[in-house]
Amino acid sequence: MVALTLPIALAAPLGASPRAAGPARSATTAPPARPRLAYVPHEVLVRFRGSEPAVSRPAAVARAVPFARIRPVRGTGLSAVALPYGTSVPDAVTALARMPGVRAVQPDYRYSFTLEPTDPDFVQQWGLQNTGQPHMRTNGGGTTSGLAGADAHLTTAWNTTEGSPSTVIAVLDTGVELDHPDLAGNIWTNAGETANGTDDDHDGYIDDLHGWDFVDHDDDPSPMFDGFDWDIHGTHVAGIIAAARDGSGTVGVCPTCTIMPLRVGTDAGGVDDEAVIAAIHFAVRHHAGVMNMSFGGPGWSGMLRSAIAAAGRAGVLTVAAAGNAGADDDSLFVSGAGVTAKLHSPEFPAAFDLPTIISVAASDDHDRIAGFSNVGRVSVDLAAPGVDILSTIPSMSYGMLDGTSMATPFVVGVAGLVASLHPGYSPVQIKDAILHGVDRPHGVAGGRTVTNGRLDAAKALNASTANATPKSDGTIAGAVRLVHAKTGTLSYPADVNDVFRVHLLKGHRYVATLDVPKDRNFDLWVWKPGTLDVWQVEPGCTKATCHVLAAGAEPKGKDETVRFAAGKTGTYYLIVTDRGGAGRYRLTLQPR
């Protein structure tokens, strides 16, 4: 198959102005977003085998591919290999994958922050308590009134707990304004470090008193000012989580929790794997309990998935934004052709099928899924307030944003409340309590998330910790065994995918046939052994490194036939997917 190297859709950069009571700051508009590749164009990430001596690596790499330099990514066990101009990333991945001293290699994937354009004049935080009060709108001006009770019920939860300073929440974002009056008292301090130009705690970072900047590689994780405007995204996210409840400004969901600022990107430039993976390792080493990831993109990164999985095993819960494309994260398809082709795929990292990730959609003040929000009956767990959200922004001010970026820190804050009340809970138990504790208003139902629910902080505090996410036949982990033939039904959007597994022999050829119901658009995909997630699309991969093996995508009502050969003996996966409607199908697999 042709390697998918389609650009990630980048959310428009934001300008923001303060409310009337804030310090003077003029409204600004950032330059329009530039198209960006799904990965850094002149770099790949490599994990060498432990037996490969570091001193021999440059010479070994030089035999496989031209390179400018090899740089270790601190604290991760990875190396970034810089490529000279004109060297193809997919070709470099293929060549390095063949080296005996290489355990894994992939592009350095990029992601964008999941927010919406703004017009900030908003002064009321309806997501914390909604009495139906009028409030300003983020976009379009004017005012609107919400539906009483369409909120995350924080005022009730605070009667039980407002969190704890010992609950540390890592914000992987564009940086946090450390001296913002609503945040300064809740910023993490590294007890093992002093400002003396020495790495006192031997973690590889000098003077990392209040986090780290993984973009500029220094000890100041504050947002960047480019001469026109600030990167406001990370400060806004931090305020939603833990702005102080001090009688001024705004208040966060977990107002006494501690924020660990980890700068991994910019509003306009997005974020890449190298920075995020290094930040994850930092957060784990310094005992963060929850990580906020309000970014995403269609590129599946095995290294990022491994880092998040390892963090989960170390006791860290990850909460990620489902995305703002108004799409279904259970689906994948390509629209258009050639240079106009556009990839519609799940939003990663939110769509990783890991037990320690919560994926979050956005809801509005009437308890409806926001029109821009991605959904997914299998891949998106719940909704949370994400429209007309007021929070902190740089220049010691306040502004409004929309997006699943804003919904995500609502869930992170509630995770902080649950962790503070139940310090013995594991990441999975915190997740299960949040999912069992949702409200289920009509506007977020309809099979568009795992829970059909909206975040409820008060209920989550003492909700059940029984398994809230049983295996689904729409995931790789829940794949149904296929012998020769299976029949099944699909319906969009509640049941988009059926996944089947089959053991095949190296060198043998097979034909898979999907009988499609009349006037329905069902497709058939075949994936190689080692596949971990549905729609594991790896931009920049090649025939040798991509996990997708073959696909049938005939027009509506046409049966699908896929012929393929097994390149190795192992478990292969066949995915039957629904592009709309509902119907019954029959899938057969035969040797040829």
Residues tagged active-site = 173, 233, 405
Pairing of strands 497-504, 480-481: parallel
Nearest-10 Cα torsion for 241, 244, 250, 253: 30
CA–CA gap between residue 490 and residue 322 (Å, rounded): 22
Q: Are 362 and 403 in contact (CB under 8 A)?
A: yes
Dump the DSSP string for 564-579: EE-SSSEEEEEEEEES
Half-sphere exposure of 177 (CA within 13 A, CB side): 23
Helices 404-421 and 233-242, axial angle in degrees (round to 10): 30
Q: Give buried/exposed letters for 544-562 (b at 16+ CB in 10 A, else e).
A: ebbbbbbbbbeeeeeebeb
- Following CA atoms 306, 307, 311, 314 in sequence, which dihedral angle do they give, to the nearest 10 degrees? 70
* Amino acid making up residue 46: V
Instruction: List, in order, residues 6 or more apart from 226 with CB less than 8 Å away.
Output: none
370: helix, strand or coil: coil
The helix/strand/coil state of 55 is helix
Here the tokens at position 357 are 């990730």
Q: What is the CA radius of gyration of the chain?
A: 24
- List the structure tokens of 432: 């299960």
Please name the residues in contact with 139: beta carbons below 8 A apart, sequence gap of 6 or more: 116, 117, 118, 119, 402
Contact at 8 Å (CB) between 294 and 405? yes
User: Going by C-beta distance under 8 Å and a sequence separation of 6 or more, which residues neighbour residue 11?
Assistant: 33, 112, 113, 114, 115, 116, 324, 403
- Burial classification of residue 86, based on how many CB atoms lie within 10 Å of its CB (0-12 exposed, 13-18 middle, 19 or more buried): exposed
